[in-house]
Amino acid sequence: MKKLLALTLAALMVLAFAAGCASESPAPPASGGNDNNASSGGGNDNQAGSGGGGDLTEDKITLKFWESETEGSVFMKYAAEEFTKLYPNIEFEFEPVAHTDATQKIILDGPAGVGPDVFAIPHDMLGANVSGGTVLPSPNAGYVQNNFVSAAVTGATYGGTVYGYPMAIETYALFYNKDILPEPPTTWDEVIDFAATYNDPSDNKYAIVWETSNAYFDYIFFSGHGSFLFGPSGDDRTQHSINAPNTIKAVELFKSLRSILDVPSGDLSGDFCNSAFESGKAAMYIVGPWRIQDCKDSGINFGITTLPIFPGESSPPASFSGVRLMCISAFSNHPAEAAAFLEFCTSNEMALKRFEMISQIPARSDVTVDDEYSAGILAQAAYAFPMPAIPEMGQYWQAMGAAYSNIWDGADVVGELNAATEVMEATIAES
């Protein structure tokens, strides 16, 4: 099994990942091993810890890092403590800033002198950070290029320059309760049939839940019949396909699913969905690997598999895939030390520790994972579409998040997609 998953990981990441957007909740620090299995293939850290920039300062300094106050911060706090053991003159300050919020926050905090030295972002926001002048190129591009899977390198690169340090790779998939569904549905038709016998709204029992107003998860209803956001390579802003016929067809299915999940979009929050699934009320949940540890802790008997196939299609829909990056702030007074810290955080040893602590799939090419939950995520990754990293993605999240929310609550599909198209095309025309 281990050999198979190792090969699967390498192959899938080359093909599927080139670039989270999701609700997260805190996970406790690991105190030793757990059920996760990962192994090291050796690898070449290429002067990990040096930052590729020579000697580090001997002065007493403090590096500030931003990370979501969830699983990611648990690991980063641990890594900071370990780094300080090596360099006692370097201490750390943690400020909780969600990786999805950092791009906007650093625009003000960076120039004001209160920003971080390093911060986390999803790779699709790298283009906006580069365009905004908020991140520095890696001083040791070879470290990233030589030690990470090809898709993670692509996600950390913009305009031919390496900026990010890949922390994890991810997509979302179908989590299911094995005690309710020993064999999960493979199609949306099967999901709908199951809901007819399982649902009990008076008891908050639903066949399936997900954040229906989140354009990250809802991308499967964009791609379900073959549409690509910004073209097959995700880099052609003129090919947004928001109101293309295949997109409209797929979003019509999205709207119809209100009949089996009759909850307003505003109430289908991450907290609602987490509670519904982990309490055993919801039989299935569309979410990503950041929920694995919490599901384990809840004690439910669950599995992870590919997303349901759309009517008339033969394979699961394309989910968004992404790379979680740490970047060096362009406003840092200590860029060499920041780079050294990020090389340390992403070293072979620390990648293994991160997986052990928070169950997120490592981005390094010399680390393999062997557990049933990661296998389910990787199975869906075979069909995933890398989140585009062009600046127009910011408008996609806003326009399509509103469209999905309105459609779920009863608005016309074509009208909402046309409105989102107008917003996107106005943004393109202005840029």
What is the rounded distance in angstroms from the CA atom of residue 95 to the CA atom of residue 194? 45
Give φ, ψ of 27 to 5 degrees: -120, 140
pLDDT-above-70 percentage for the chain: 87
* 313 plus 423 within the same structural domain: yes
Q: Which helix (H) or strand (E) holds 320?
A: strand 320-328
- Answer yes or no: is pLDDT of 19 > 60: no
Residue 13: pLDDT band with limits 50, 70, 90 = very low
In 237-319, DSSP assigns E strands to: 282-287, 302-305
* 279 plus 413 within the same structural domain: yes
* 279 plus 420 within the same structural domain: yes
Check if the beta carbon of residue 304 is closer than 8 Å to that of residue 174: yes
* 97 plus 122 within the same structural domain: yes
* 201 plus 288 within the same structural domain: yes
Residues 6+ apart with CB under 8 A from 3: none
Mean pLDDT of the region 387-413: 94
Q: Report strand pairing: 282-287 vs 173-177.
A: antiparallel
Total domain count, the chain? 2
- Answer yes or no: is pLDDT of 10 > 80: no
Domain that holds residue 392: 174-320+388-430
* 316 plus 326 within the same structural domain: no
Average of per-residue pLDDT values in the chain: 88
Which residue type, as a one-letter code, is found at position 42?
Answer: G
* 43 plus 109 within the same structural domain: yes
How high is the pLDDT of residue 29?
27
- Answer yes or no: is pLDDT of 7 > 50: no
* 45 plus 188 within the same structural domain: no
Residue 40: pLDDT band with limits 50, 70, 90 = low
How high is the pLDDT of residue 378?
86
- Answer yes or no: is pLDDT of 406 > 90: yes
Residue 22: pLDDT band with limits 50, 70, 90 = very low
* 111 plus 219 within the same structural domain: no
Other Cβ atoms closer than 10 A to 392? 18
- Burial readout 272-294 (b: 16 or more C-beta within 10 A, e: otherwise): bbbebbbebbbbbbbbbbbbbbb
Q: For residue range 123-181, list pLDDT tens digits in order.
A: 999 999 999 999 999 999 999 999 998 888 989 999 899 999 999 988 999 999 999 99
Which CATH number covers residue 365?
A: 3.40.190.10
What is the rounded distance in angstroms from the CA atom of residue 101 to the CA atom of residue 132? 15
